[in-house]
Amino acid sequence: MQEELKALAQAILEGKRNEAVDLTQKLVDAGVTPKQILDEGLIAGMSVAGEKFKNGEYFVPEILVAARAMKASMEILRPLLVASDVQPIGTMVIGTVRGDLHDIGKNLVAMMVEGAGFKVVDLGVDVTADKFIAAAREHNAQIVGMSALLTTTMTYIPEVIKAFDSEGLRPQVKLIVGGAPVTQEWANQIGADAYAPDAATAVDKCKELLGAA
């Protein structure tokens, strides 16, 4: 089945959804464990996609079709993973902060972090500190990701960070920030645990934050 696993990773990488679904089903039917299909098919494919995004070979379209192929395969795998008690490598809550409605960057991060084996709880756009905190508690998230595209809305990110501080949720919840006007320097100033300039780097940073790199 090694060939099929490789073919699955390749189908994910190329965003061939139907092919990915067929191969996933075939591997399941052949008795390959859902964990192995996840690791050597889905995550392997998304990981190469992430590398290609980082080095400038892949752009938004390629990531979107790869992520959709991954999600389609996950529909088959998810119940099997649950049944065999396979845990995600970590849980991330993610959202675009209050006032801001831009979501393509945040969505790319969510797709790629999910593609690395995390459970991702996407709160969408216009997310308040209260919602971030409630979701982090409810899902026992180790990581919370916040994004803003606008200078008008990025100033809300430090308010969310303060709210996590005053709720006593740090350091067990790590806070990672990003978005067009956000920089490493500013992330340091506001006391974020990590910053990523792009979605592929965000995956590396999330793994580092978990100690799983």
Partner 1 sequence: MTPRERVLRAIRRDAPDKVPKEMGFTPAAYERFVQETGCTDPAEYFGMETRYVGFRPPRELPDFSRYLRNLPEGAQLSGEYGTAHIPGTFYHFARCVFPLERASSIRELEEYPWPDFTPAYRHEHLEAEVQAWHEKGYFVTGFAGHIFETAWQIIGFERIFRDFIENPEFVEWVLEKITQDNCFKARRLAEAGVDMVQFGDDVGMQDRLMMRPEVWRRFLKPRLAREIAAAREVRPAIPIWYHSDGNIADIIEDLIEVGVTVLNPVQPECLDMDWIKRRFGDRLAFWGTIGTQTVMPFGKPEDVKRAVKEMIERFAPGLVLAPTHVIEPEVPWQNILAFFEAVEEYGRLTS
Which residues contact partner 1 (rule: CB under 8 A)? 15, 56, 59-62, 64-65, 68, 98-101, 104-105, 107, 125-126, 150-153, 155, 180-181, 197-198
- Name the residue nearer to partner 1 (CB basis): 81 or 160: 160
For residue 76, give the amino acid letter: I
- Name the residue nearer to partner 1 (CB basis): 65 or 163: 65
- Name the residue nearer to partner 1 (CB basis): 87 or 152: 152
Least separation, in Å, of the C-beta of 131 and partner 1? 12
Residue pointed to by tokens 């999330």 = 206
Least separation, in Å, of the C-beta of 152 and partner 1? 5
Least separation, in Å, of the C-beta of 87 and partner 1? 29
Least separation, in Å, of the C-beta of 198 and partner 1? 7
For residue 1, give the amino acid letter: M
Query: Whole-angstrom Cα distance, residue 107 to residue 150?
Result: 16
- Name the residue nearer to partner 1 (CB basis): 121 or 150: 150
Burial 129-142 (b: 16+ CB within 10 A, else e): bebbbebbeeeebb
- Name the residue nearer to partner 1 (CB basis): 63 or 173: 63
The DSSP secondary-structure symbol of 146 reads E
Reported in sequence order, the residue ranges of the chain that DSSP labels E, i.e. its strands, are 91-96, 119-122, 143-147, 174-178, 194-195
Inter-residue long-range contacts of 207-213, CB under 8 Å, 24+ positions, other chains counted: 207/89, 207/116, 209/142, 209/143, 209/174, 209/176, 210/89, 210/90, 210/142, 210/143, 210/174, 212/89, 212/90
Least separation, in Å, of the C-beta of 147 and partner 1? 12
